[in-house]
Amino acid sequence: MPKCIHCKSDRIISISGKTSDCFSATYKDINYDGYVPATIGLGEGGDYIEFSYCADCGKIQQHFPIQEAIIQNEMKGE
């Protein structure tokens, strides 16, 4: 069973949702609509949002920080 990368709890909830090309996000002054971006910690891209989080501390179970250039490129569709 996976453990939280922050607090080591085993109370991990996994989320998966299909967006059917209807994903949207806002970062700073950039608005994004389209497929789920692959490199900002919400899944592998495409139609599905997929991530896990800890039910004790609330930490999303991904590797952070994400570089500013990666976020900017994804949100601008580059």
The pLDDT, as a whole number, for residue 63 is: 84
Q: Angle at CA 61, nearest 5°, toward 73 and 53?
A: 115
pTM of the model: 0.78
Intervals of the chain under pLDDT 70? 78
User: Taking every pair of C-alpha atoms in the chain, what is the biggest distance, in angstroms?
Assistant: 39
Please report, for residues 10, 26, 32, 38, 44, the alpha-carbon distance to residue 57 in angstroms, rounded to integers and kept in the order given. 11, 24, 29, 25, 24
Percentages helix, strand, coil for the chain (3-state, rounded to 5) are 10, 35, 55
